[in-house]
Structure 1
Amino acid sequence: MARNYVRENVPLSRFGVLVAQLESIVASAAQQPPDPLLCFDLLSDLISAIDEEPKCEDALYSLLTLGAKRPIRHLASIAMARIISKGDGISIYSRASSLQGFLSDGKRSEPQRVAGAAQCLGELYRHFGRKITSGLLETTSIVAKLMKFNEDFVRKEALLMLQNALEGSGGCAAFNAYVEAFRVITRYAVGDKSFVVRIAGARCLRAFANIGGPGLGVAELDTSASLSVKALEDPISSVRDAFAEALGLLLALGLNPEAQVQPRGKGPAPVAKQIEGGLQRHLILPFTRASAPRSKDIRISITLSWVFFLQAIHLKYLHPDSELQSYSIMVMDMLHSENSNDAHAMACVLYILRVGITNQMTEPTQRSFLVFLGRKVC
């Protein structure tokens, strides 16, 4: 059990006692590995007690790089971000730089230590990404290095860090940083042998779509969509669901060129254009061509992609609900002659019409849509 080191006659607040305990644990780590339950309870109390300018960043940094397990890393990362947000004297730039330096020198024989630093840097990007956009290129290079680790949890943490870095930067970093990030995702993540890493890769593609696809042209968006469609054949349902969401959001971005972000810096910035025939290639044809033995899984995933696409069109890109009716024709056309009597295919189409279209319409638009459907069916 860690002892409290308190100077005589110098009263400490509750927070000060917790910091002293944390520093004691870190100082004795060389002789005795930290007790996970003790660390978890201590960090939980520490986070709830942050009400002043604390002085425990170095202890948290040491705990993260000692090789703590993920729950401990998670709490320590949150504590670090909250401390900095309270106005700590340690600059976010220097703290991010020290973590990048640690990761650049990280050894494959120390996966837990590397994962801890990656998780903390990702948390800092999530909170302060726009302040440290200059480091995004170096961070993506670090991710490429970490993707070569044998441990899947390191590769997963690397991609989660990249996801947080992309979302935190909001498209404000340099052009070549996004190009490198896209290369890492498509080359290493989407085809990884571990399903948790593939899910993390899908979330990175989703992050790209959410921030406007900086550095991506029509070709890159189309490639991302093609990779997502291919991933819908994955045997793991959670992987299919993650890529289904990414596919829908990427296609919605591809049909809204005015929302595509052009990053700063040198480089042949891609011209914002609409993906021509994207819905036909990536949603309609995969649905109609789905064949046994995984046809139902693929159709369900395509159905989810349609819903994510339609919701993004209306809620994110603010197209009026009346425009959703035009997509219903494409949805119903998926019931071609070969599967017009297929109950599963029909159920998927009805789900898209209800959740993706009707549920987003106002009552007057719904009435008009019902009249339209009646004429279409007849």
Structure 2
Amino acid sequence: MTCLGTIYRCLGRMIGRSFDDSVTLMVKLIKQSESQVRCETMNTLCNLLEGVGPAASMCNKEIFKAAKSCMTDRVLSVRASAAKCLDTLVEYYVPLYSNDLEATVNVCLRCLDGSNYAVRLETSKLLGHVLAQSQQQFHVTSSNVSLSTSTTSAVSVTSNSSSRNKLILLKDALSLLASGFLRGSGRFLKGTSATDMIKGTSSVNREVRLGVTYAYIEFVILMGSQWLEANIVTVVSHCISLLENPRAIPTHAEAIFARQCVGYILGTLFRRLLSEPVQLMAAREFIVLVRQRLQNASLPEQLEEGIGEIGVTDSTVELEGKPVGLDSADVDEETNATGSGDSATKSFDLDSSVIRRGFGRGSTRAQRQQQQQHVLICALDQITQLVRWLDSIAAPLLDQPSQLHELLYSALSHPIAAVRLSAANCLRQVTIVLPGQRAALLDRCISCLQQTQRSRGDTILGYSMAIAGILAGSNIGALGIPSSTAKQVFSLAEDLLRAANQNSRLTLPRTQAGWMLLAAYMSLGPDLVKSHLPRMLLFWRNAFPRSIRELEVEKQRGDAFTWQVGLLPLSVNVTFLLD
């Protein structure tokens, strides 16, 4: 079989019309042979198509049926060979990417179920090639229609050809990929329970989702960089919409996996296909997306979730004049402050003084938060990557109308820790590529932390992460930070640790923030740390038990809080020893 395939690939049409009989015999052989012979037969048919080309058009349908049956074979090597054969057939068999497109996509998704790396690679190439060919055929047919409007005969010929072959729009092609990403192969009763089928929450096989991720990349790469630049908004909005679908995030682990897949798609495409001006435009699109998501976090919804604080004016951080949110506080005063609000959206339990949702919407609150969380994290991570690639070209992002730094300041007050960490990482990357802005951004973070250290735990941790990231990132470049600013950070960390026990609600955030700032300060080097070493030793002495008796007492009464507080100075100690 290998010799026959090599002959057809090298000689091609010089052999004559013998390939018709050869295809018929090989198709019959597939139904009666073992897995190794089926695999070699698929490879031979692939070589035959490469050598003969369009001359084998009479056999294309027969080859398609044989390869389609092998795509769901139990042996994975047969699947990979069949996918490679169909990938070669795409160039010569038009129904494969027109009338039979949905059937081809379904076969590819079934082939990805339980696959290995080789099968995923070949199947994703096939899936991306089929969808790219459908879009190229759509553009060719549309151009033919526009050019043939001058004569009636040309219009009739073009209309007849377009009626035979189904035209696929870009929206439909992306919907097919999204269906595979969100629903998987869709095999009946496979790996699902009755509850999952009724609720529609069955998880997708990771092999299928990973293969569809590769197919997205293959599809856009085949369409080209100019196509991506023209459709950048469509591609970004489509990929982000995948994370907003409840099917993509049935569990936290599946949500993280889906977020990594979407981030891999966008990062690979932006890095390989986009020029620097278009990368800058993509960063602006993500900034607009994040700003919209943050503005959608309205104040009434956060009050309903019970994370309000006494006095709205003292504890909110504004985003373009709108409060982003509140932290947990005394609910009695919040109830009195908001009791005159709209009764259609909130209901109050007077016995417990807890604000509750009306109309049974409380069940979807956690799901909505999770959707927004992963969308924001993915968008902020993409902004971080784009800023790193653009380097100093990213400076216009700090100007109007983007104002990236203002957006990141608002995200630092988000109630979800992962979003705050992504925003702090993005701000750190901005100071690395634009070292001239490091001092100004650091002063702004210090000022905001000083203003909010008595009110909100989320804001304290968010701005502390940002300050720690900027301090640690200052060692990467030659331009550091002013020594007075570094001393101010150390004094701020000292104030947070000394005031940790003044408010039980803010004890843990202040303790975490203080030790976090000290750990970042330790990375500045011995010249700055040496003068503050006596005070650091005092902090360490007070953080750990001073005798064996105190250690035994700590072991007996220790809980998660005390152990966590004990780990923080240990991390600072490790940073001190390393730097």
TM-score, length-normalised on structure 2? Answer: 0.39
Query: Structure 1: any 5+ residue segments left out of the alignment?
Result: 1-117, 262-267
CA contact (8 A) 1:121 1:161 kept: yes
Give the structure, 1 or 2, with the largest relative contact order (CA under 8 Å, sep 6 or more). Answer: 1
CA drift of 1:215 comes to: 5.6
What is the correspondence of 1:1-378 to structure 2 with a 5 Å cutoff?
118-132=1-15, 134-170=17-53, 172-186=54-68, 188-209=69-90, 211-214=91-94, 216=96, 218-257=98-137, 271-276=164-169, 278-290=172-184, 295-314=205-224, 319=227, 321-338=229-246, 339=248, 342-378=255-291
CA contact (8 A) 1:134 1:173 kept: no
CA contact (8 A) 2:9 2:47 kept: yes
CA drift of 1:147 comes to: 0.4
Distance 1:155 1:337, change over 3 A: closer
| 1: CA distance, partners of 2:83 / 2:273 | 26
CA contact (8 A) 2:99 2:165 kept: no
CA drift of 1:235 comes to: 4.3
Q: Which has the larger radius of gyration?
A: 2
Deviations 1:184-216 (A, max 9, x none): 112x3112232211111111111123x253464
| 2: CA distance, partners of 1:203 / 1:376 | 39
Distance 1:220 1:289, change over 3 A: closer
Q: For residue 242 of structure 2, give the secondary structure of its aligned residue in structure 1.
A: coil
CA contact (8 A) 2:96 2:104 kept: no
CA contact (8 A) 1:190 1:227 kept: yes
Distance 1:377 1:138, change over 3 A: farther
| 1: CA distance, partners of 2:82 / 2:140 | 21
CA drift of 1:149 comes to: 3.6
2:197 maps to which residue? none
CA contact (8 A) 1:244 1:301 kept: yes
| 1: CA distance, partners of 2:98 / 2:219 | 17
| Amino acid corresponding to residue 84 of structure 2 in structure 1 | R
CA contact (8 A) 1:310 1:324 kept: no
| 1: CA distance, partners of 2:281 / 2:22 | 51
Normalized per residue, which structure has more helix? 2
Q: For residue 31 of structure 2, give the secondary structure of its aligned residue in structure 1.
A: coil
| 2: CA distance, partners of 1:269 / 1:131 | 34
| 1: CA distance, partners of 2:242 / 2:206 | 14
CA drift of 1:308 comes to: 0.9
Distance 1:320 1:301, change over 3 A: closer
1:37 maps to which residue? none
Distance 1:120 1:257, change over 3 A: same
Alignment: residue pair count: 250
| 2: CA distance, partners of 1:176 / 1:191 | 25
2:554 maps to which residue? none
Deviations 1:95-126 (A, max 9, x none): xxxxxxxxxxxxxxxxxxxxxxx211211222
| 1: CA distance, partners of 2:75 / 2:61 | 24
Distance 1:364 1:134, change over 3 A: farther
CA drift of 1:303 comes to: 0.6
CA contact (8 A) 1:213 1:260 kept: no
TM-score, length-normalised on structure 1? Answer: 0.59
CA drift of 1:270 comes to: 8.4
Q: For residue 333 of structure 1, give the secondary structure of its aligned residue in structure 2.
A: helix
Distance 1:280 1:319, change over 3 A: closer
| Amino acid corresponding to residue 245 of structure 1 in structure 2 | K
| 2: CA distance, partners of 1:299 / 1:178 | 30
| 1: CA distance, partners of 2:84 / 2:137 | 21
Deviations 1:21-54 (A, max 9, x none): xxxxxxxxxxxxxxxxxxxxxxxxxxxxxxxxxx
CA drift of 1:294 comes to: 5.3
Q: For residue 33 of structure 2, give the secondary structure of its aligned residue in structure 1.
A: coil
CA drift of 1:314 comes to: 0.8
1:104 maps to which residue? none
| 2: CA distance, partners of 1:320 / 1:351 | 16
CA contact (8 A) 1:257 1:273 kept: no
Distance 1:244 1:325, change over 3 A: same
CA contact (8 A) 1:130 1:169 kept: yes
| 2: CA distance, partners of 1:258 / 1:139 | 34
Q: For residue 192 of structure 1, give the secondary structure of its aligned residue in structure 2.
A: coil
| 2: CA distance, partners of 1:144 / 1:174 | 14
| 2: CA distance, partners of 1:375 / 1:154 | 55
Give me the identity figure in percent.
Answer: 24
**CA RMSD in angstroms, aligned pairs only:** 2.9
